[in-house]
Amino acid sequence: MNIKIINRSQHDLPSYETIASAGMDLRANLSESIVLKPLERVIVKTGLFIELPIGYEAQVRPRSGLAAKKGITVLNSPGTVDADYRGEIGVILVNLSNEAFIIENGERIAQLVIAKHERAEWITVETLSETSRGEGGFGSTGIK
Annotated binding site for substrate: 63-65, 76, 80-82
Does residue 18 contact residue 76 with C-beta atoms inside 8 Å? no
Binding positions are: 63-65, 76, 80-82
- What's the distance, CA 72 to chain centroid? 13
Alpha-carbon span 60 to 76, nearest angstrom? 9
95: CB partners within 8 A, 6+ apart: 36, 37, 38, 39, 40, 41, 71, 72, 101
CB atoms within 10 A of CB 90: 18
